[in-house]
Amino acid sequence: MKQGIHPKYYTDGIVCTTCGTVWKIGSTRPNLRVEICSNCHPFYTGEQRIVDTAGQVDRFMRRLNIAQERQTEREARRAGRQPEKKKSLLKEIYGEEAE
């Protein structure tokens, strides 16, 4: 191995920011962090919990509620309207006696 051409090798490890698990591995980067790991991922744990570190689920639920409210308002307005009855063109031209 040549001296002075290789990057510095760190054996600190990877840290999971969700559950705090640390794995001792070797890397050329000193601090590696992951958001989710096999200890806390729902696929591996079998639990159906949502790991939401950025608040994306809350934002989605707010947008979904707003969209549902708008839809119910639209349906209520449509149900409240009475369709206008159009006069027959013949009745309009010739009067009421035309049939």
Domain-wise residue ranges, the chain: 1-49, 53-80
**Model confidence, pTM:** 0.38
Indicate the CATH number for domain 1-49: 4.10.80.400
Q: Quote the CA–CA distance of 85 and 97 in Å, as a whole number.
A: 18
**pLDDT score at 21:** 85
**pLDDT score at 49:** 65
Query: Tokens standing for 67?
Result: 């969209």
For the chain (99 residues), the mean pLDDT of every run of 10, in chain order, is 86 84 85 84 73 79 94 89 73 68
DSSP reduced 3-state for 89: helix
**pLDDT score at 97:** 63
